[in-house]
Structure 1
Amino acid sequence: MSPRQTNEEVVRQYALAASVNDLDGMTALRAPDWRVTWPQSGEMVVDDEDFRAIVDNYPGGSPRTEMRRVVGDVDRWVVSPSGTVLRVAGSGDFWWAEWSVTYPDGQAYQCIDLIELRDGRVWRESVYWATPFTAPDWRVQWVEMDAAYRDSPAS
């Protein structure tokens, strides 16, 4: 990590490392006392070694990732597929990333990662995981389908 990186550059680099399953790249951008919580399950991972063990031991294997393209500007960033960063936004020491991931068993998630930085490093994360679902027919007359999500497994 370059000492001249902005917080936005750190978060974008972190999101890119996560999208291609680069655990070493993620670790290099984390503060020594980094923590991630998964509020929906009540779990907290308190060190890089345990995080790596979780990824390495996921039933069926870790997500298959493949870099296909990067598109974006200051407010939006897209990387596809499998680990797909849809958006990175924020300011100061608080940022968020919206992404999707598909595991080898076919399970897909839409995720929001709330990221706090300290001294230019990822310090705290809260990640919310949601499974995609098919839009109900009864709402069709009032909605449009968002192209960013149209190809999700539930569509």
Structure 2
Amino acid sequence: MKAQKIRMVIDQHWAASAAGDQLKEHEIYHDDVICEYPQSGEVIHGRRNLQSLRSHHPGKPSGFVIRRIQGDGNLWVSEYVIAYETKLAHTVSIMEFRDGKVTHETQYFADPFEAPAWRKDWVEPKRDGNG
């Protein structure tokens, strides 16, 4: 599958996710997809389980901002920020494709933190509110 087509499929996936469209959001996955959440040690087997898990999330996102999507061939990475009421979750999704659908996804979630004062001479604060 060409990079342009995969990118279009990924864009549609994230748009559906942001809109809460569970059916469209999960079209990107093979039936036998494996999704890993390394920070919690969880592994989700199968598109049906992944969709069910996400549809039962108690806090629906109130905002969703894609920061960047990059990839080539069958490996693609999305970096985005999800807003849950008053909390931001900085997220990285690593997707592996087979036959035009995701066969393996690993997602990392990180909470924002205050920058330490000792770094102030070498950095500047990001001002976009998402980062």
Under a length normalisation based on structure 1, what TM-score does the superposition of the two structures give?
A: 0.73
Please list, as runs of the form range in 1=range in 2, the aligned pairs for 1:48-63 lying within 5 A after superposition.
Answer: 48-59=47-58, 61-63=59-61
Unaligned 5+ segments in structure 1 are 65-81
2:111 counterpart residue number = 131
Separation of aligned partners in 2, 1:125 and 1:88: 14
1:93 counterpart residue number = 74
Separation of aligned partners in 2, 1:103 and 1:151: 14
Aligned pair count reads 128
Please list, as runs of the form range in 1=range in 2, the aligned pairs for 1:113-128 lying within 5 A after superposition.
Answer: 113-128=93-108
The structure whose residues are more often strand, as a share, is 2
Separation of aligned partners in 2, 1:47 and 1:133: 33
AA aligned opposite 1:15: W
SS of match in other structure, 1:143: coil
Q: Kindly provide the CA deviation profile for residues 112-134 of structure 1, in whole angstroms up to 9, marking residues without a partner as x.
A: 10001111112210000100111
The structure whose residues are more often helix, as a share, is 2
Contact kept? 2:95, 2:105, Cα under 8 Å:
yes
Under a length normalisation based on structure 2, what TM-score does the superposition of the two structures give?
A: 0.85
Structure 1 runs (4+) greater than 6 angstroms displaced: none
Separation of aligned partners in 1, 2:70 and 2:83: 22
Aligned-residue CA RMSD in angstroms? 1.9
AA aligned opposite 1:36: C
State percent identity of aligned pairs. 29
Separation of aligned partners in 2, 1:44 and 1:133: 27
